[in-house]
Amino acid sequence: MNASPQAPYLPLSRDYKVLSSESTHEGLRVTAEVLGVPTECPDCKSRELGKWGTRPLVCLDLPFKGQSVAFHIKVKRYRCKRCERSFSQSLPEISETRAMTQRLLLWIGQEGQVRTFISIAEDIGADEKTVRNAFGDFVKMLEEAVHIKTPTHMAILEITALHKPRVAVLNVQARTLVELLAKPNKITLHGYLGGLQDARDVRFASVGLSATVHEAASHNLPQALVFIDKPHVMALAASGLLLARDGLRAKVSKAILLKAHSALSPAEADKLAEAFASCPVLGEVYRAKEALQAVYSEALAPELARARIEALLSGLSSEARPWLSGLTDAWAQWEGPMLNYFKPGAGEASIDHLGDLSSIGLAVDAFGRGYAFEAVRCKLLFPPRIPMFSFTGRGLSLQSLLAKSAG
């Protein structure tokens, strides 16, 4: 191993003495010792201690003058003569969870929000997994310092972001993102919702047409009214309408077809009438979509809403029904949760109030293109550094988030 003399290495603190430092092809090797000596047994508090050998410890530290740093410490061990417990010297400023200094862990946390884990790993002489795990520790420290308030009106929205299915948890009243989950699976959802200390504060939970999400919300939010939200149901009607247009080869634009009839210009209304004249089935599917929208637009009691929706679906002709099979199947499976929308207060928790959220996945991509999911989540939800004092926040403004996709 070729080594060359190195300028004195900056020690961690007065608790350590640097014995030597040398530059090698692997980086800077620093040998140090801990100056502090224990005065009593950590268990029985006896002062009758005897030496019990040493153990080597190698931990990583901040890069120094462009080199990675390996911190080599001979840790002295002691044995209590009274209770016979053996223990090591305390190691100030060394991470309790990783073989690295605390200052390196904090540095990784900050750098990981603006750089890739691979590039950081190259700087400190470690592998990407080490950096990823250290970043995870940093995020846990942030989570302990920054409590994001659990919303009383929650929405659990499945999205696609960073090339994979994810889950965005929203505070509907505050119009904020309060959590971004890596996977829309049972373990992840139960882990998050089941870990909420104030889960009983959630009064309403807007969900989509996912059995996994619905079951997790119903199980872990005991005081919440879990309901399938209007936009998810209307999306089924819109999807059926477009399927009918394509399948029946109707000559009408998507934009006109998906507009509410009341929002059509005279010219657009004429084009729609022409399309329906040549394709009556498409007209029937369109009117079903409009009738469903009318049900949601009126402040109906659940029983009246049920009667209106059942009349709408049962009245479909045999030619129109196949195009709306997604809607009819959903009603057969989810009638109860769909009708929960019409119960008092649920409408106030609807994501319908938040505008078009279809670009939320693109906005997350814009925030974190090229970075690991953990880093993107950290950038979205937390400050870049560990705050001096703990505080409670409401999450990231949806307006700020969605502005990313627009930009």
| Domains of the chain, each with CATH number or no CATH | 1-94 (no CATH), 150-228+356-380+395-406 (3.30.420.10), 235-349 (no CATH)
CA distances from 39 to 57, 80, 90, 220, 365 (A): 22, 11, 11, 49, 54
pLDDT at 2: 41
Q: Tell me the pairing of strands 49-64 and 67-80.
A: antiparallel
DSSP 255-278: HHHHS-GGG--HHHHHHHHHHHHH
pLDDT in tens, the chain (407 residues): 344 444 445 556 778 888 888 888 889 999 988 888 899 999 999 999 999 999 999 999 999 888 999 989 999 999 999 999 999 998 988 998 899 999 999 999 999 998 999 999 999 999 999 999 999 999 999 999 999 999 999 999 999 999 999 999 999 999 999 999 999 999 999 999 999 989 999 999 999 999 999 999 999 999 999 999 999 999 999 999 999 999 999 989 999 999 998 999 999 999 999 999 999 999 999 999 999 999 999 989 999 999 999 999 999 999 999 999 999 999 999 999 999 999 999 999 999 989 888 889 998 988 877 788 999 999 999 998 999 888 998 899 999 998 866 65
Neighbours of 388 (CB within 10 A): 7
pLDDT for 134 = 96
Distance CA 46, CA 48 (A): 5
Give the tens place of pLDDT for each residue, 107-159.
Answer: 999 999 989 999 999 999 999 999 999 999 999 999 999 999 999 999 999 99
Q: Dmax of the chain from CA atoms?
A: 99
What pLDDT score was predicted for residue 3? 43
Residues 6+ apart with CB under 8 A from 132: 117, 372, 374
Among residues 217, 231, 234, 240, the alpha carbon closest in space to that of 357 is found at 231
pTM over 0.95: no
Q: What pLDDT is recorded for position 64?
A: 87
The C-alpha atoms of residue 370 and residue 200 are separated, in whole angstroms, by 37
CA angle 160/201/299 to nearest 5° reads 75
Residue 270 CA: distances (Å) to CA of 39, 266, 273, 284, 286 = 91, 6, 5, 16, 15
Q: 């394709």: which residue's tokens?
A: 279
Tell me how far CA of residue 345 lies from CA of 18, 154, 297, 398, in angstroms: 65, 12, 15, 22
> Between the CA of residue 139 and those of 28, 98, 365, 377, 383, what are the distances in Å?
28, 14, 20, 9, 10
CB 209 within 8 A of CB 199: no
Nearest to 220, CA basis, from 150, 315, 140: 150
Is residue 182 within 8 Å of residue 376, measured between CB atoms?
A: no
Place of tokens 């190195």: 6
Q: Please list the residues that pair with 88 across neighbouring strands.
A: 77
Q: Which of 122, 116, 106 is nearest to 27 (CA)?
A: 122
Nearest to 395 by CA among 227, 109, 143: 143
